Amino acid sequence: MSNIYGKNIKISIFGQSHSPAIGVTVDGLPSGFAIDFDELRSFMQRRAPGQASYATSRIEADEPEFISGLVDGITCGAPLTAIIRNNDIRSSDYDNIRDVPRPSHADYTAYVKYGEAHDVRGGGAFSGRMTAPLCIAGGICLQLLKREGIFVTAHIIQIGNKKTEEQMISAIEEAKKAGDSLGGIVECAATGLPAGIGAPMFEGMENRIASIIFGIPAIKGIEFGNGFSAADLKGSQNNDAFIFEQVGQGDIKTRTNNHGGILGGITSGMPLIFRVAIKPTPSIAMEQDSVSLSEMKPVKLKIEGRHDPCIVPRAVPCVEAAAAIAIYDALLD
């Protein structure tokens, strides 16, 4: 259900920010695959907090323990499960949230859906921390794809309205000082994908990627190829002529890639390109208007605790992970 993704492989994510552990089960992996644990660790460290001066100071070891699905580090065909213990938990930071929902967080909607019993500590199951198990599954899929010559990489193209690295970093530092936050745009490309992957209608590559990508908190938009800017173009400008890779020979390619590697939901053999919009982190230090659920009256809220002024850099591997899962799953059709 809400925590399960996939058609040919099934990713099942569990845990809350402050439960004893978080983790993921992946069913449908091929047996006999030797996971490169060093590579997986490096991949996961890109998502881990506490790396940059401007980032949250919470330290997550985030070392996954693989409790099933492996024999001597090699997949055995059984569902693979990895868990990560939640260690550095300061629940007291979050006491106020039970009563006063944080603007643009899921506190209020979770309360309406799950009632008093829902886990408010650290955002519960809505926490960005839940992207760590996503990255375990995605990191393994990235390795499986690499074996097929398929590479999925994402990068930041914009933070706030800044487009150079230097500007981005100083904007984040300013936001941190101001107790504010910034969003951004991440672009992801998958290269080496053969033509013919995906399906029309509800199993198109766009559908499959979008339906996992929106599982990453804070993502509010996705576009493929030219995306929203295609609306400004004429057909004669946006259409991608078919050509041969080399003049008169080789594979069929398109001269331009406005379609982002997907036509009719199916890969065309051109790089699959999409961009996602990430909203500014809702946790800011500035005082905000909210309501008291117990007293049903307006209150001022000041969120204490440690928070990233910008989660966009940490979202980059999450986007890669999600895309890798969707693409690997489609490849198994």
Could you say which residues in the range 133-162 bind a second copy, by CB under 8 A? Answer: 158-161
Token couple for 104? 């643009």
CB 151 within 8 A of CB 145: yes
Q: Does 246 bind a second copy (CB under 8 A)?
A: no
Give 107's Cβ-side CA count (13 Å radius).
23
C-alpha 333/C-alpha 28 separation (Å) is: 12
Q: Does 59 bind a second copy (CB under 8 A)?
A: no
Strand partners, 71: 74
**Which is closer to a second copy, CB of 42 or CB of 254?**
254
Interaction with a second copy in 249-268: which residues (CB under 8 A)? 249, 252, 254-255, 258-260, 262-268
Q: Does 211 bind a second copy (CB under 8 A)?
A: yes
Q: Does 35 bind a second copy (CB under 8 A)?
A: no
C-alpha 49/C-alpha 214 separation (Å) is: 21
Q: How far is CA 203 from CA 26, 136, 151, in A?
A: 20, 24, 21
The distance of closest approach from Cβ of residue 252 to a second copy in the complex, given in angstroms and rounded to an integer, is 6
**Which is closer to a second copy, CB of 32 or CB of 166?**
32
Task: Give me the residue label for tokens 């590697």.
Answer: 261
Nearest in space to 311 (alpha carbons), one of 213, 184, 165 = 184
**315: phi then psi, degrees, rounded to nearest 5:** -75, -20
The distance of closest approach from Cβ of residue 256 to a second copy in the complex, given in angstroms and rounded to an integer, is 10
Stretch that binds a second copy, among 37-45, 55-63, 141-149, 245-253 (CB under 8 A): 245-253
Q: How far is CA 307 from CA 67, 75, 76, in A?
A: 31, 37, 40
Q: Does 176 bind a second copy (CB under 8 A)?
A: no
Q: Does 130 bind a second copy (CB under 8 A)?
A: yes
Task: Give me the residue label for tokens 């065909």.
Answer: 77
Q: Does 56 bind a second copy (CB under 8 A)?
A: no
**Which is closer to a second copy, CB of 56 or CB of 81?**
81
Q: Does 5 bind a second copy (CB under 8 A)?
A: yes
Stretch that binds a second copy, among 26-34, 42-50, 136-144, 145-153 (CB under 8 A): 26-34
Q: Could you give the string, one character per residue 296-315, with x where binding to a second copy holds by CB under 8 A and - elsewhere?
A: xxx-----------------
